[in-house]
Structure 1
Amino acid sequence: MKKSESRYFNTALRIDQAFLKLLEQKDMEYITVKEICEAAGVNRSTFYLHYETIGDLLAESVQYMNEQFLEHMKLRGEVFVSKIRDCPLDELYLVTPAYLTPYLEYIAQNKRLFRTALKNSGSLGLDRIYSRMMRHVFTPILERFQIAEPDRPYMVAFYIHGLMAILSEWLKHDCADSIPHVCAVMEQCVMGGRGKQEEAK
């Protein structure tokens, strides 16, 4: 990467981080370009060099958050979908420690960002993200369980929003409970305690 390109991306990252910090303090509709520029240490012309509107910045922040998570998880689409097709049915719940631990570790390492995302879930377009997750992840899972198509949106809504509520509660308390404990709670909620019962056998 050329020095000029590196400077461009570093500036964009500073604007990104300033925006996320401001989101912790107030709702997005009350944030101004002037505030973002002051927090990032750039002028308005620099902001508009990178983004046309705060909405564009918001979209990039969400994309950045997702890319960081995917990199942390080291997941690639084809490998993940292949695993969904071939793994034992019990693993399709995606609430086993193998799936949950890296996710919870990532959240704990990025508490501020995730608190901001949950607080501003509507603005950050998390529903659209979940919709994509349903198409690429949950739909193949529900097909393997032979769940009737009209029932799938209800089951996905229950699954996602239930787990997000647990994460929200965990973040509210600054991730004080251990990751194994939160994993066990999620497993119990989704599998009705079956995972623990099977381990005890």
Structure 2
Amino acid sequence: MNKSESKYFNTALRMDETLLALLEEKDLEYITVKELCHRAGVNRSTFYLHYETITDLVNETLEMVMRRFLSYFPQQEEEILGNLGSRGREELILVTREYLLPYLRFIQENKKVYRAAFRNPASMQAYTRYGELKRHILGPILERFEIPAAHRPYYMAYYIEGIAAIVKEWLRQDCKDEVEVIAGIIESCVRPRDGSDEK
């Protein structure tokens, strides 16, 4: 990376972090370019050198957050998605600690991102971001369980909204409970045990 690329990257990173900080305080429609520039310590001309609109900055920020998020998972996407068709049904429940712990650690370490997403779901594209999860993971799993296609959106909504509600409450409490505790709560809500294996 040469000096100008490094300077561009640092400015973009500052803008991303500033946007996330402001989104914790207010809705996107009340954030101005002037305020963003002032908080980030950059000129308006620098902003317009990087972005045409605040929406461009939002899109860049979401991409940065998604890259960070994926780096928390030990497995590559192909490993997770590649062999869904050949797995046994008992392996198709992805609400396991293997997947929950990295997800919850990321949330805990990026609380302001998630608080901003819950405060501004439309501008942070919170629900459209679940498209890949629905299409590549939840859809094929529900198909393997022979859930009728017309019913699948209901199952997906229950799954996603339920976990989101737990995460939202955890954030409201400033993520005070340990990640392992929240993972256990989510697991028990999604897959309640009958008690027979706790003898």
CA shift at 1:93, angstroms?
A: 2.3
Instruction: Note the 1:105-120 alignment, pairs <5 A.
Output: 105-120=105-120
Aligned to 1:200: 198
Aligned to 1:30: 30
Residues 88-107 of structure 1 mapped to structure 2, 5 A cutoff: 88-107=88-107
Q: Which residue of 2 is the match for residue 84 of structure 1?
A: 84
Deviations 1:172-201 (A, max 9, x none): 10111122221121112112x12x736425
1:114-134 Cα shifts (integer Å, max 9, x gaps): 111222112111111112221
CA spacing shift, 1:199–1:14, aligned 2, 3 Å: farther
SS of residue in 2 equivalent to 1:115? helix
After superposition, the C-alpha distances for 1:97-126 in whole angstroms (9 at most, x for unaligned) are 111111111111111221112221121111
* Alignment TM-score, normalising by the size of structure 1: 0.92
Amino acid at match of 1:97: R
- Whole-Å separation in 1 of the counterparts to 2:38 and 2:110: 23
Q: Is there any run of 5+ residues in structure 2 with no aligned partner, and where?
A: none
Greater share of helix: 1
Question: 1:84 and 1:75 mapped to 2: Cα distance?
Answer: 14
Partner of 1:179: 179
Q: In the aligned structure 2, how far is the partner of 1:155 from the partner of 1:139?
A: 10
Residue identity opposite 1:197 in structure 2: G
**1:47-70 CA-partner distances (Å, limit 9, x unpaired):** 011111001111111111111100
Unaligned runs of 5+ in 1: none
Distance 1:51 1:134 in 2: 31
Count of residues in correspondence between the two structures: 199
Q: 1:178 to 1:88 in 2, by over 3 A?
A: farther
Task: Tell me if structure 1 keeps the 8 A contact 2:117–2:124.
Answer: yes
TM-aligned CA deviation for residue 17 of structure 1: 0.7
RMSD: 1.6
- Distance in 2 between residues matched to 1:185 and 1:39, nearest whole Å: 38
* SS of residue matched to 2:72: helix
Query: 8 Å contact 2:142–2:152 — kept in the other structure?
Result: yes
Q: Which amino acid aligns with 1:185?
A: I
**Cα offset, 1:88, TM superposition:** 3.9
CA distance, structure 1, for counterparts of residue 22 and residue 180 of structure 2: 32
Q: TM-score w.r.t. structure 2 length?
A: 0.93
1:93 is paired with a residue whose SS is: coil
Give the match's secondary structure for 2:92. Answer: helix
Residue 2 (structure 1) aligned with residue 2 (structure 2): yes
